[in-house]
Amino acid sequence: MPKKYIIFLKSIARKWFIFVIIIILIIALVGWIGWKNLTPAIVVTIIFIALLILSYIPRIYSPQKLKKFMNNYYRIEDKTIAKESRRTLSDIQEKMFNMSQKQENNDWLIVFLNKHYIFYHELTIEKFKEFYNKGFRDKEILERLKEYDLETRAEVKTIEDTLIKYNRLSKREISVKKRMENERF
């Protein structure tokens, strides 16, 4: 029984716009026939439009709020953000896509990997750059950045490619080959 009640409420919620239009038309019809006056219908319409506009204001999820939320983590995926912020995954992905297009001068990084966006905190990126410049290989960088929640070598490679794409990664101080030779001897 509760399921039928919930289904009924959801169906009303989906069709609320039609119900409001019907109520406005009934008020207009009664007002026109009874008093030759459409003022009540106009007032109800204005109230309805004001409520409609106010109902969309809380849904606006600004990128600044999203950045502030993401900065609490070294690494966070779009799925986790969607769960914790109770937003749709597509909405979060759209916002992260827009942020990723404007990340050239930012300290943090957003990458697209396996059909999902991943945010990396600026501390993670600084450590990555430090290990990259010292000549570490992808596997070694991954081992050293485990504490920053990096999980796969593909992530390391994607971070490297993205940083190179945005000219945020300088040339290595020591090449990987030279570093390996120095470790041998």
* The model's pTM: 0.64
Nearest to residue 137, comparing CAs of 170, 160, 114? 160
pLDDT at residue 117 is higher than 90: yes
For range 60-89, the mean pLDDT = 83
pLDDT of residue 110: 92
Alpha helices in the chain (DSSP H): 2-14, 16-35, 39-56, 63-70, 78-85, 89-101, 122-133, 138-144, 153-165, 176-184
Q: Select the more confidently predicted residue: 48 or 98.
A: 98
Q: Is 16 exposed, middle or buried (0-12, 13-18, 19+ CB in 10 A)?
A: exposed
CA distance 148 to 114: 20
